[in-house]
Amino acid sequence: MKRNYTFIPLFLLLLVAVVACSNNSKSTTADSEGKKPETVVNVPQFDADSAYHYVKAQVDFGPRVPNTEAHKACGKYLAKKLEQFGAKVYNQKVDLITYDGTMLKARNIIGAYKPEAKKRIALFSHWDSRPWADADPDAKNRYTPILGANDGASGVGVLLEIARQIQQQQPELGIDIIFVDAEDYGPHQDYKGDHREEYWALGAQYWARNPHVQNYNARFGILLDMVGAQDATFFYEIYSEQYAKNINRKVWNAANDLGYGRYFVKEKGTMVTDDHLFVYKYARIPTVDIIQYSEETGFYENWHTLKDNMDGIDRNTLKAVGQTVMEVIYKEK
């Protein structure tokens, strides 16, 4: 009898063990089958030499001030490049009234990729240049138009290179590259009247109220402004913090992960009246502003001066900004 009592528990233990192993095996299989393998996104490599070429091509037209032949010629060039890079191109030709009553023959130029896609990202830069070097240290230069290599052309050059890359490899989301006009026709520093925020970014204000397609929406936007100077630093712009804080973090984290932390500083900067403000205000699209700023010099040291030329453009900065933006748009799902 003693042997019987011993045999039965051993048999039961073996049976329980077999069942347990079977259950564990099923659980492991289910877990492995339930997990989808992570998709590795191969982000294209941004070509800084190419972007530099596109910056120079704009500067070679001369100052791109609305109502000038240089402005008209550059507008044709930008629309042609976007078309060449496979975008569906929209042109918004519109008369805009400035702070002093001047009528500008303005043109917003939009290149859309995957225009049928509902999920979209908007990338902005202004393509006009300042009609006066009103911050120039030499007073006699303060009514002379600037070339705007950094303030205007750098952001456009980066976006043209991104457009070229998109033609070769499309991100999952639809992308709109939006070149807005008449951003920099705000009041001269000597102007004695009111200096209102709505006197700036006239093209962006028009686009935000009248998008290139009806009921347009984007998940978020990124604005590039003065993104080409050597050793530039980009801080969290304050309007961006208020209206698109999570996008600020997304972009700056991506930059730091890529090793560009010396450019993209994770600290608050200043509040800038720029195109992104009106994109949020009128189109309700949360948009961040990547714009050069430092506590020592404020904006770019040659901002609104005759020295804003190709001598101030650095390929390393173009690369840091361009690769960061591409990292964000290609990894968005």
The pairing of beta strand 103-113 with beta strand 287-291: unpaired
* 280-299: pLDDT as tens digits: 999 999 999 999 987 777 89
Any idea what DSSP says for residue 153?
A: I
Q: Which residue has the tokens 């100052």?
A: 63
User: What pLDDT does residue 36 have?
Assistant: 58
C-alpha dihedral sign at 312, 315, 318, 320:
negative
Domain coordinates in residue numbering, the chain: 1-37, 48-331
Q: Are 305 and 141 in contact (CB under 8 A)?
A: yes
Q: Does residue 35 surpass a pLDDT of 70? A: no
User: What pLDDT does residue 16 have?
Assistant: 37
Which SS3 state, helix, strand or coil, does residue 279 take? helix
* 150-173: pLDDT as tens digits: 999 999 999 999 999 999 999 999
End-to-end CA, the chain: 69
Quote the pTM value. Answer: 0.89
Q: Which CB contacts under 8 angstroms, 24+ apart, belong to 9-14? A: none
Q: Which of 84, 158, 204 is nearest to 325 (CA)?
A: 158
* 193-213: pLDDT as tens digits: 999 999 999 999 999 999 999
Any idea what DSSP says for residue 68?
A: S
CATH number for the region 48-331 comes to 3.40.630.10
Q: Does residue 10 surpass a pLDDT of 60? A: no
